[in-house]
Chains A and B, each alone.
Chain A
Amino acid sequence: MTSDPDALLQVRDLAVEFDTPEGVVKAVTEVSWDLRRGETLGIVGESGSGKSVSVMSLMRLIPTPPGRIVSGEARFEDRDLLTLTRRQLRRLRGRDIAMVFQDPMSSLNPVQTVGHQIAEAMLVHDSQLRDREAKRRSIELLELVGVPQPAERFRQYPHQYSGGMRQRAMIAMAIANRPKILIADEPTTALDVTIQAQVMEVLKSAQQEAGAAMILITHDLGLIAEMADRVIVMYGGRVVEIGEVHEVFHRPRHPYTFGLMASLPRLDTQTETLATIPGQPPSLVTPPPGCAFHPRCRLQRERSLCAEAVPELMDGTTGHRSACHYAEEMQDLVAEVSAEVGVDFSGGAE
């Protein structure tokens, strides 16, 4: 694994497990990636793919009775996040690394005013800061994220805000201390479709305002296509593909990624059938032997290697890597499926 000098955060071999009555769930296995300064890194995958857990565990926000960080390293500014003491970690949270969560209604304290919660983000990290100053800055932040009448809104409670406004408030809270990394976990999933675009705009400008790198976790491919520079595709707790968004989406080097792309309904062509991925997501307690995707994979073609050996992330073109034994044959697969379904999935439109 090469080390990138431009990397702000380097995750290596992260593994996280959960103890459940059904057994030990291997939620995240051998996950490694880099986050570069100023970039937006998307992490995409289905529910259960480990996308949220892998990032949450970096900040140790997963419940550690059932959960356990088994191994791994996360280098940020010459320190390993996973070995920090709670006090050290607390200083980073909300200041260097900030988070925006999925459901703004439940993510805000219902008995405190929104303004107070935003101010708290600043007061916690700056012991010199006076209440009045924090209030002033909070109102500024509310204005920045586009909440109308911010001075009045400061004094209101979360249930008095609309869904979109609450998420804007969460974003304001996150950038209050100009973090270096902004983590957005399914930021728009709980919002109405019409609001989603607005909130993403706010998120993007907030990121620019703070000059932060962003990790965007979502299952929404469209969101990644619009917002992210690079993308990580996760399946069964592992990284199966990494690369620049444009590259990965137009020339996927993993059958799962291709499956995701192909199963999206399209407006530009007429087709009778949708090309779906057959089967179910894998059990994380007893994952399939070898490649986790092989039971559902068309590329396997009865070849035994897929069921025997877990594929490593291997380079294709620079920076574009995938974990598939037969990544080279992807183009043929694409052509095959295109012919079947009657839609051209290969390269093409920008």
Chain B
Amino acid sequence: MLTYIARRLAVSVVTLLGVTVIAFGLVQMLPGDPARTIAGLLASDEDVERIRTRMGLDEPVLVQYGQFVSRLVTGDLGESARTRRPVTTEIGARLPKTIELAAAGTIIGSVLGIFAGVVAARFRNRFLDHSVSMGSLIGISMPVYWLGLLLIMLFAVNLGWLPAAGADRRTSIILPAFTIGLFTMALVARMTRSSMLEVLEQDFVRTAFSKGVADRNVVYRHALRNAFIPVLTVIGIQFGSLLGGAVLTEFVFAWPGIGRLLVDSIFARDFPVVQGIIIVFALMFIVVNLVVDILYSYVNPKIQY
């Protein structure tokens, strides 16, 4: 088991390194003078030169990369070109909000999705099944930003029940969480349904029936426990993905998370922040994937390392 974790960690580190190369490379690829880019368009020539020497931008590329990585390891992501504050501060201020939203969306989506998927599998090819299938199709086809707007129109503008934007009130999280939850719900429902159908075909389900176990218990205690395993992986990956992929939702609902920071920074050409967000996000995603993998091998008694 430990060797497996060690191996996965090693792979993760390599992947993360690759991400740093890309993040570093992105800024290098920008047209123009990198020092000026980092300093920002409004900076004076002296500032630019200062930054150039301080950041070692006159050194060869490889050396710069080395410095970049060594700074990363100490947690230094540079300064925001807009606010002059450390990138880590900027990100740190908003990261909890993003995690909060991603978690809420994942939980809502997963719980509803699993339930829907189980119901669909149980009543296969009947009305409930077709409704769930159609619902899932709509869920994964719907543009998240449009859904957000529609929900705002309905619940905030017309009904006035929920706040349209921002994160100041306790109920603020409901609409955005539900918006991103919908996609997750559709995905999880589809996955659960097909997993359940596969499991329900298996012999041990027949054995459970032949023992006299009640239908409901066969579905939940026997089938679902088996079917759940691959679904867990999907949920985990979705959560990781939502950490960065909620960009559009954060934008629509003016939710103060790193997604919104990313968009604002792109508009403001604040590249150190963009770079920092890419790295932070990749790191989080890799960690989440690692955790999911380990959890998976734990949950499935057949896997032995």
Contacts and interface: CB of A to CB of B under 8 A. Distances in A.
Interface stretch (A99-107, A216-224, A268-276): A99-107
Contacts of A92: 212
B301 A94 contact: no
A61 B208 CA distance: 11
B301 A157 contact: yes
A93 B211 CA distance: 5
B212 A61 contact: no
29 contacts: A59-B210, A61-B206, A86-B215, A90-B214, A93-B211, A94-B210, A94-B212, A95-B212, A99-B207, A101-B207, A106-B202, A106-B204, A107-B203, A107-B204, A107-B207, A108-B207, A109-B208, A109-B222, A109-B225, A110-B204, A120-B208, A120-B211, A121-B211, A121-B212, A124-B211, A124-B212, A124-B213, A125-B212, A159-B301
Interface in B183-216: 202-204, 206-215
Contact of A93 (B202, B204, B209): B209
Interface residues of A, number: 29
B211 A159 contact: no
A110 B206 contact: no
A142 B207 CA distance: 18
Contacts of B211: 93-94, 98, 120-121, 124, 173
B226 interface: yes
Interface string B25-38: 00000000000000
Interface string B205-241: 0111111111100000010011001000000000000
A61 B209 CA distance: 8
Interface-central residue, A86, A91, A101, by most chain B CB under 10 Å: A101
Nearest to B124: A65
A107 B226 CA distance: 13
B131 interface: no
Contacts of A103: 203
A1 interface: no
Given A65-B125, A157-B301, A109 B210 contact: no
The dominant DSSP class at the B interface is helix
Interface in B278-300: 300
A91 B209 CA distance: 11
Given A98-B211, A101-B203, 4 more contacts: A110-B226, A111-B226, A111-B229, A120-B213
B169 interface: no
A172 B136 CA distance: 43
A109 B200 CA distance: 11
A225 to B, nearest CB: 27
Contact of A99 (B125, B204, B210, B302): B210
Interface of B: 124-125, 202-204, 206-215, 222, 225-226, 229, 300-302
Contact of B302 (A93, A107, A159): A159
A19 to B, nearest CB: 13
A98 B204 contact: no
Interface-central residue, B125, B212, B222, by most chain A CB under 10 Å: B212
Nearest to A63: B201
A158 to B, nearest CB: 9
B225 A111 contact: yes
B83 to A, nearest CB: 52
A157 B203 CA distance: 16
Contact of B206 (A65, A101, A121): A101
Interface in A147-199: 157, 159, 170, 173
A157 B204 CA distance: 13
A192 B222 CA distance: 28
Contacts of B206: 61, 101, 107
Contacts of B229: 111
A250 to B, nearest CB: 35
Contacts of B225: 109, 111-112
A106 B202 CA distance: 7
Contacts of A109: 204, 207-208, 222, 225-226
Contacts of B212: 90-95, 121, 124-125
Interface-central residue, B215, B222, B301, by most chain A CB under 10 Å: B301
